[in-house]
Structure 1
Amino acid sequence: MMSDWLFSGAMPLLWVGFCTVALYALIIVFARWSGVRSFAEMSTFDIAVTIALGSLMASVVVSKNPPLAQGAVAVATLYALQLGVSRLRCRYRTVEAMADNAPILLMGPGGEIKHENLRVARVTEDDLRCHLRRVNVSDPRQVHAMIMEGTGNINVLHGDHHDRSDNPWIMQGVRDYEARPTFNTQRA
């Protein structure tokens, strides 16, 4: 019947409401416990955890399988994994390299387009123009660097306040950026 398809009774609706509130509260508690990084999308792993949390919440809320207790354990496990990986990333460069995408130089000093990097990043020149307009750059020659970060965000360093002799630390790890001496930022 059409009414069964639209409305299955009060108990299933109450269960959906209860599960939604319970998982929401649990995610808030774990997010506060693990810190602002929980939804920062700073690495590939952070993005994966955010997506998994959304999918997990939807699965638990709208079905009886998995039950709420399994969903709660899965949420706790995801946050524990995220916390563990973020701590390992801070301590070991190899873990950081495995968990993060490296930033890519899309446009170099003076507006020099890095066509091979555009291909690798799957970015078009139209995308570059869009980002330049977004940051109020009307002359690409003002660009010191346009970088696609590991999160997929594109940042533009531009203007007269940038000089090629600026502190190179900010560009450390960017694919195809001209190598210069850097500060000692060694980790184990």
Structure 2
Amino acid sequence: MFFNDWETIGRTILLGFLAYLTLILFLRISGKRTLSKMNAFDFVITVALGSTLATILLNKNVALTEGISALFILIAMQYIVAWLSVRSNFFGKLIKSEPELIYYKDQFFYKVMKKNRILKVEILQAARSSGIESLDMIEAVVLETNGTISIIKKSDELHQSTLFNVKNDNVLK
């Protein structure tokens, strides 16, 4: 239960070292966007990479080359999906959600908040975290594609032209 044999430990150390180096190499080749700020799709890939690495290390029935092939496929598919989403609006919308306005000019959008399971208290917490003392200081609040809440402060000058690509057509044009 606590110890099988030295061969198993040696295998785990060797495979762990080689699989880790391979994963780092693949991630460097695939670029910075592979594991950047994550949306839901990116999160799933990251969990799958971790699970695959753990399987390579701990499952005696999985050869190193099989595990490296699995890592390669996951990273290659992530790269292809990111590449396609940048070059195709249709594919980009299929993979990633759009930012959504959840508060604008003293008005909460409860329908959008309910759809995204955002509570008013979470918006207030994000405001406090941004150093905002009152809702009067906020122009808009946006639920970003990765699930974070962005606070846009009111400015003294009137250069609040548009909030770029924020979904809520009835408020912003």
Structure 1: segments with no counterpart, 5+ residues: 181-188
Contact 2:99 2:165 in 1 (8 A): no
Match for residue 174 of structure 1? Answer: 167
| Partner amino acid, structure 2, of 1:178 | V
| Partner amino acid, structure 2, of 1:172 | N
Cα distance in 2 for partners of 1:65, 1:155 equals 46
Cα distance in 2 for partners of 1:23, 1:177 equals 51
Match for residue 157 of structure 1? Answer: 152
Shift of 1:144: 1.5
Give the secondary structure class of the aligned counterpart of 1:156.
strand
Does 1:125 pair with 2:120?
yes
**Which 4+ stretches in 1 moved above 6 angstroms?**
none
How high is the TM-score relative to the length of structure 1? 0.85
Give the secondary structure class of the aligned counterpart of 2:4.
coil
Q: 1:147 to 1:175 in 2, by over 3 A?
A: same
Deviations along 1:111-132, one digit per CA (max 9) or x if unpaired, are 3211111101101111111111
Identity score, percent: 21
Give the secondary structure class of the aligned counterpart of 2:141.
strand
Give the secondary structure class of the aligned counterpart of 1:107.
strand
Structure 2: segments with no counterpart, 5+ residues: none
Give the secondary structure class of the aligned counterpart of 1:30.
helix
Does 1:12 pair with 2:8?
yes
Contact 2:39 2:147 in 1 (8 A): no
Deviations along 1:89-145, one digit per CA (max 9) or x if unpaired, are 111111001100221211112x32111111011011111111110001111122121
Give the secondary structure class of the aligned counterpart of 1:171.
coil
Give the secondary structure class of the aligned counterpart of 1:174.
coil
Give the secondary structure class of the aligned counterpart of 2:61.
coil
Cα distance in 2 for partners of 1:116, 1:56 equals 39
Does 1:139 pair with 2:134?
yes
Give the secondary structure class of the aligned counterpart of 1:105.
strand
Q: 1:175 to 1:66 in 2, by over 3 A?
A: farther
Deviations along 1:55-76, one digit per CA (max 9) or x if unpaired, are 1111111111322211100111
Contact 2:40 2:146 in 1 (8 A): yes
Match for residue 68 of structure 1? Answer: 64
How high is the TM-score relative to the length of structure 2? 0.91
Determine which of 26, 29, 33 is the counterpart of 2:29. 33
Q: 1:7 to 1:119 in 2, by over 3 A?
A: same
Contact 1:44 1:101 in 2 (8 A): no
Contact 1:23 1:57 in 2 (8 A): yes
